[in-house]
A and B are shown apart, each in its own frame.
Chain A
């Protein structure tokens, strides 16, 4: 049973380009979360999605960031017109949706903006 999968593991973009980060949840999990870990900081919640729905995006920056979890395929975190301050590790997590159940994390995508 494969865990949460993320790709790419490392992504380098120049300022102004777009970054697309992909996440496949664990088998049987219908709830996906994205977290960001800035250098020397803790993990911060960004967004919580279920299939085809954004449930909570209170941690997402208001501009340039978007997330989706389509009916088919992985969840996508999209960052438009990246800036150096977007350089961070982006972690995806999933859960089966049971209240209070464990959350499982992927290995992360490390985004570097030049």
Chain B
């Protein structure tokens, strides 16, 4: 059974700091890995999708890496801003990518 763990559960940083969010998964037989952002009371916004054959993806100030063999992914956020404050969710795609197994998220607060 696939299990996804995110560390830390919560993180508070000053504006401008670079930071790393961690995600680990127990079964390396994945189709893809997706990072989402969830704002309080809102839905999920897809940030980055990494296919199982890829090692990283970048979008603006965000960079996500994937190491299937060790069952790890990291989300790097450069020059953090207060608007980055949200819960970040890591989800692993299994069964042809049709089903996502989520971690419990990292709640990020960026202080002005």
Contacts and interface: CB of A to CB of B under 8 A. Distances in A.
Interface string A83-114: 00000000101010001111111111010000
A91 B43 contact: yes
Question: What is the size category of the interface that chain B forms with chain A?
Answer: 20 to 34
Contacts of A110: 41
B104 A105 contact: no
A22 interface: no
Interface of B: 31-32, 34, 36, 41-46, 49, 51-52, 89, 91, 93, 95-105
27 contacts: A4-B43, A33-B100, A35-B100, A41-B104, A43-B89, A43-B100, A43-B102, A44-B102, A55-B98, A56-B95, A93-B44, A93-B100, A99-B96, A99-B97, A99-B98, A100-B32, A100-B52, A101-B49, A101-B97, A102-B46, A103-B34, A103-B91, A104-B46, A105-B44, A105-B45, A106-B43, A107-B42
